[in-house]
């Protein structure tokens, strides 16, 4: 699922995902992440940055890529990033062309 940690000093939300991010898990994760991002954007619309940490993720579906795009559009591509990608996950993001939308590491 997802664990979220907010650093108010840096106005940064880190969302740590774990396991397989398939369609069954993504609906619940999307709701949780969007609710938190919307609440933080209401308080700090110009400063909020979001990081999706996928270090413990073994699989992502297109539904997870959609969550990434939704959040990147809300906060701005320059304030959204995905970190902890293994070579397989990184290739999925690159093939989808998302490296031109936000930072992938």
Domain extent listing, the chain: 2-104
Q: Which H or E element spans position 26? A: helix 23-43
Q: pLDDT by residue (tens digit) across 67-82?
A: 999 999 999 999 999 9
User: What span, in angstroms and rounded, lies between the C-alpha atoms of 104 and 81?
Assistant: 6
The answer to whether the Cα torsion of 38, 68, 55, 9 is positive or negative is: negative
pLDDT for 40 equals: 94
Residue 6 has pLDDT above 80, yes or no: yes
Does 1 score more than 80 pLDDT?
Answer: no
Other CB atoms closer than 10 Å to residue 18's CB: what's the count? 15
Q: Distance between alpha carbon 66 and the CA centroid of its chain, in Å? A: 10
Residue 46: pLDDT band (50, 70, 90) is: confident
The CATH code of the domain at 2-104 is 3.30.750.24
Angstrom distance (rounded) from CA 47 to CA 54: 23
């Amino acid at each position: 699922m997802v664990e979220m940690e907010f650093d108010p000093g840096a106005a940064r939300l880190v969302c740590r995902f774990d396991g397989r991010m398939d369609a069954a898990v993504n609906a619940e994760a999307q709701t949780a992440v969007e609710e938190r991002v919307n609440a933080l954007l209401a308080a700090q619309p110009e400063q909020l940055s979001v990081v999706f940490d996928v270090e413990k993720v073994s699989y992502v579906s297109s539904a997870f890529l959609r969550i990434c795009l939704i959040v990147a559009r809300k906060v701005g591509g320059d304030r959204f990033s995905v970190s902890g990608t293994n070579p397989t996950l990184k290739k999925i993001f690159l093939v989808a062309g998302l490296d031109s939308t936000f930072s992938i590491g």
